[in-house]
Chain A
């Protein structure tokens, strides 16, 4: 192969490599970092009335607890005028008319809003249990 051919080929490869580096460090890497900023790792612990527990950790981009639970097929709920009311969680029903309701704690403190108004934060632990009266 002639020197000129090798030189030209190397020049083309060099430009391609420079463009690839520019794309990776200038676009792809910052874009990935921005996407990862929205990722949260949360733990959901569901305690059933028979004493069994279902504890799972999720990595999600979702903003609210109800969105995550619906994505995972755990939640059946309806809006009864005060935010979403949980009808069934992880396959177990708890209805107010039967004097039972699903309640939850966020990091050990009683939740103060409905699941659709509870924002997900990285590292949060959500403990669900049924309250009867």
Chain B
């Protein structure tokens, strides 16, 4: 497992790269907006976790803030506060395996579960029956989300892994 992260506090290079990764998450999401629930958010965050460990939480935090600034701080945004850190935690749990396949499986599970996770704030606002119906109605989007996450991660993570290894000498100068 190659790490681009320095122990302890963030270095200037890490601040730049982690920030750029968050910008890429929102940028690619907007670019792919025509394709519902198909985006590179999970792939990019997987790269951040694989090479920066828990510091990927900074990328997740910046991305969450940018989502709110671009689309507005609605109730859905509250769910982002725990959904994306949860993905970081899940990816950290399998980080030692350093396997594109395992990362892809985690990204797929995240996509499949995303709709259900996002319903938690609505449970308190509209009750379990209405939020359960909302989740059920959105299942086709969750299926697309999970399948796309799996395919994109399986396809794009191996070249990103190579890129990370090339970046290592630059990051640790």
CB nearest neighbor in B for A21: B139
Interface size class of A (residues with CB under 8 A): 10 to 19
A12 within 8 A of partner (CB):
yes
Using Cβ atoms and an 8 Å threshold, which residues of chain A touch B150?
12
Q: How far is the CA of A12 from the CA of B137 in the complex (A)?
A: 20
Q: Is the interface of B mostly helix, strand, loop or mixed?
A: helix
Contact (Cβ within 8 A) A19 B143:
yes
Chain A minimum-CB-distance residue to B137: A27
Q: Closest CB of chain B to A4's CB: distance in Å? A: 6
A sample of 28 cross-chain residue pairs with beta-carbon separation below 8 angstroms, ordered by A number, consists of A4-B101, A5-B101, A8-B101, A8-B102, A8-B104, A8-B105, A11-B105, A12-B108, A12-B146, A12-B147, A12-B150, A15-B108, A16-B112, A16-B146, A16-B147, A19-B112, A19-B139, A19-B142, A19-B146, A20-B139, A22-B136, A22-B139, A23-B136, A23-B139, A23-B140, A27-B133, A27-B136, A27-B139
State the B residues within 8 Å of A (CB): 101-102, 104-105, 108-109, 112, 133, 136-137, 139-140, 142-143, 146-147, 150
